[in-house]
Amino acid sequence: MVPNTQAAPITPAGVAKPTAEQAKPIAPAAAGAGLAPQSAAGKTIQRVDQLRSERRETTEGGRTFIREPDRTIIREGNRTIIRHDEFERFRYGARDVTVDRRGNETVTVAVRPNGDRIVSTYDANGYLLRRVRVVNGREIVLIDNRPRGANFRIGNFFVQIAPARVRIPRDRYIVDYDRANPALIYETLLAPPVDVIERAYTLDEIRYSQPLRDRMPRIDLNTITFETGSWEIPPDQIGRLAGIAEGVNRAIQKNPREIFLIEGHTDAVGSDLDNLSLSDRRAESVAVVLTQEFGVPPENLVTQGYGEQYLKVATNGPEPANRRVTVRRITPLLAGNAR
């Protein structure tokens, strides 16, 4: 890891400000390849070991920022998180893309091949304020992070909240994809929270607060196996995602405002930085395949990697069950209700 005080400017949100280069669509690659970052020398990066020499570390305001070409790892105290901008995924296969400054806000627009527009608004510090889908001039609000209520704070990453009280059978709370039929997948994707939702939460609060996410049942996609150090989905495994894609699309048809979080997890073998970056990219690859191959609207998906932080099986050794991608609905957490 190379210290560098000349890295690209980082906003308090931990993401770089959009550049003119970002105002371009990204041409689709081979199925399962995902989004490949570029090295400083302009070479395509396809494996985590190629990322190590590209990392740049700075310290600002008591936080350590470790920049990769398209992501930022933030260390503060005993917490380490990874940040990326979903706009990169919206640019993938888009018909047109724009990035505009409007006063203190930045507005990104990605026009999908069907003409739908994904409009995201960020504040001056790089935090997402609002995301909408515009269809024939009609706005469908997907995420609204604008401040409301005494406890609602843009820029909060973590929420202090009691662990979720789970009163449903474990096999209905954590569903193994390889054992689930289409009816169970759909039922789980639309299942209500298992515990009380006290208020509406921001997307960042949901991303980085495990007890909050744990209020929603989840599906572990245990049929996808990645090569060591890679985030590409092997082409012969893409069809294994058809069932989850069908369930997600069916849920979105019922309610176009549904939002699903795709989480990446690894086992505890290897570097924690490598695992965090790898898990984030694997979650993104699943989201890209769901859109590219199965027509899931990209704006209804958010992705996040957690590396080795939340092991399904408590072991420091290699464990396939810990190398997983998880899907859960987070709409009730964003809306602050029990449905």
CA-CA distance, 87 to 111, in Å (whole number)? 12
| Maximum CA extent, the chain | 53
Question: Residue 7's pLDDT is what?
Answer: 41
pTM passes above 0.75: yes
Question: Residue 152's pLDDT is what?
Answer: 63
Question: 297 and 239 in contact (C-beta within 8 Å)?
Answer: no
Q: What angle do CA 217, 187, 195 make, to 5 degrees?
A: 35
CATH architecture, range 170-335: 2-Layer Sandwich (3.30)
> 270-325: per-residue pLDDT in tens?
899 999 999 999 999 999 999 999 999 999 999 999 988 877 878 888 887 778 89
Question: 16 and 71 in contact (C-beta within 8 Å)?
Answer: no
Question: 106 and 98 in contact (C-beta within 8 Å)?
Answer: no
Q: What angle do CA 53, 289, 43 make, to 5 degrees?
A: 25
| pLDDT tens sequence for the chain (339 residues) | 544 333 445 677 777 766 767 788 999 888 888 898 999 999 999 999 999 999 999 998 889 999 999 999 999 989 999 999 999 999 999 999 999 999 999 999 999 999 999 999 999 888 999 999 999 999 999 999 887 666 666 777 889 999 999 999 999 999 999 999 999 999 999 999 999 999 999 999 999 999 999 999 999 999 998 888 899 999 999 999 999 999 999 999 999 999 999 999 988 888 999 999 999 999 999 999 999 999 999 999 999 999 888 778 788 888 877 788 999 999 999 999 877
Q: What are the structural domain ranges in the chain?
A: 2-144, 170-335
DSSP-assigned states of every residue in 15-54: SBPP-GGGSS-B---STT--PPPB-TTSPBP-BHHHHGGG
Question: Residue 258's pLDDT is what?
Answer: 98
Please state the φ and ψ torsions of residue 321, each to the nearest 5 degrees: -65, -25
Question: Residue 5's pLDDT is what?
Answer: 35
Question: Residue 48's pLDDT is what?
Answer: 93
CA-CA distance, 112 to 135, in Å (whole number)? 11
